[in-house]
Amino acid sequence: MNSQIENYKTFLASPITIKGKKVKNRLFLAPMAGLGHAAFRELISEFGGFGLLFTGMCSAKAVPQENRNISTVFRWRDEELPYLVCQIFGSEPDGMALAAERIEREGFFGVDLNFGCCASAICKKGSGAALLKEPELAKKIVEAVRQTVSIPLFVKFRIGWEENSLDGAIHAAKMAAMFQAAGADALVFHPRSAPDRRLRPPKWEHIRLIKDSVSIPVFGNGNIFEPSDCKKMLQLGNCDGISIGRMAVSKPWIFSTISNGFLPHPDIYQHTSIRMITLLLKHHDERTAVKMFKKFVPYFAAGFKFGHSISKQLLKSDSTDEILKSVNSIFSEHAQPPETIDRPNLHLFL
Ligand SMILES: Cc1cc2nc3c(=O)[nH]c(=O)nc-3n(C[C@H](O)[C@H](O)[C@H](O)COP(=O)(O)O)c2cc1C
């Protein structure tokens, strides 16, 4: 692994096999409700450079009868199915298995169980990170899904509800071994405790404890802000690959930069924002498209030195025409294009 870390970009660009299925490389788009929708994934796919994309979390209760043409979350393009993993949340083993059955039937690459979300609406119902307090139930869920589907089964989880300490990480490592024994094929680990949300930096060194406790691939996640952060996460965590969330919204070409050496032209920001609203309109009605664009804005604006004013200007727009006018005025009507920054402005990163 050490020489691989030196050549971390080559390592991340190399293929990996998960449950006998080859994945092009070791970079994943993390699941993000409200951000990782079909339109955004289409934008990411145009830049390429990733191994797998994950949907935002879908309710296991809804998935079996969900209409993909109406739902904003359980929606996809057929072309992306070979590299798309559908994430589900829920707390009932049978319900999770039923949802996974549909996901397999639709042709997704795999299914991902959300054992990491700490939003109170999710945890109150015993789903997401709340399952880390119920190891027996979590195990039953993994087993039920495993018995039902043969596609790759992922579990995304955090350090549990303990302080983000070594004890917490040791507990998470035991959970990891249990997920593997119950039938998981790969793990994505975000080394923060549940109550931590994203306030403190994740402890990348704790990823190593998870990796040491299982033989299935382990992917690290949390606070990758620049390509060079990947090297540090691999060094500390010894993981098999990396899952990137918010930074991919800020710079949707980041996967291509890491794995293909893609160097963006300054026009890329204008192109990306126009493409985002165009693709949102392709997938949704105008009202929904504008609403979804506004969720994208703070992350996109975080890539600029004066991101607050860019964000403010874009968030004022209430129609797609207004958005396009704002984008053109930001990028074309000034002598100097707005100054970009490599490390995002974390005040805009929600
Ligand atoms: C707006 C938003 C929505 C998210 N939704 C989900 C989700 O649906 N499922 C999930 O497992 N994690 C979700 N996450 C957490 C991310 O997958 C990821 O673990 C977290 O953002 C840390 O990674 P990052 O620093 O690369 O963004 C979400 C994060 C954000 C910012």
At 115-124, the pLDDT tens digits run 999 999 999 9
CB of 224 shorter than 6 A to ligand 1? yes
Domain locations in the chain? 2-260, 268-331
CB of 173 shorter than 6 A to ligand 1? no
In CATH, the architecture of 2-260 is Alpha-Beta Barrel (3.20)
> CA gyration radius for the chain?
20
pTM: 0.97
CB of 59 shorter than 6 A to ligand 1? no
More reliable by pLDDT, 332 or 158: 158
Which atom of ligand 1 is the closest one to the Cα of 221? 23
In a 13 Å sphere around the CA of 239, the CA atoms on its Cβ side amount to: 30
Instruction: Quote the pLDDT of residue 1.
Output: 54
Instruction: Quote the pLDDT of residue 3.
Output: 63
Q: Which one from 58, 86, 117, 230 is the annotated catalytic residue? A: 117
Residue type, 270: Q
CB of 110 shorter than 6 A to ligand 1? no
The dihedral formed by the CA atoms of 147, 103, 290 and 247, expressed in degrees to the nearest 10: 60
Tokens linked to 298: 């703070």
Instruction: Quote the pLDDT of residue 168.
Output: 85
What is the 112 CA–ligand 1 centroid distance (Å)? 13
Instruction: Quote the pLDDT of residue 4.
Output: 63
Per 3-state DSSP, what percentage of the chain is helix, strand, and coil (rounded to 5)?
50, 15, 35
Tokens linked to 77: 């393009």
Catalytic: 239? no
Q: Chain-wide mean pLDDT for the chain? A: 94
What is the 232 CA–ligand 1 centroid distance (Å)? 20
d(CA 114, CA 31): 9
What is the 72 CA–ligand 1 centroid distance (Å)? 17
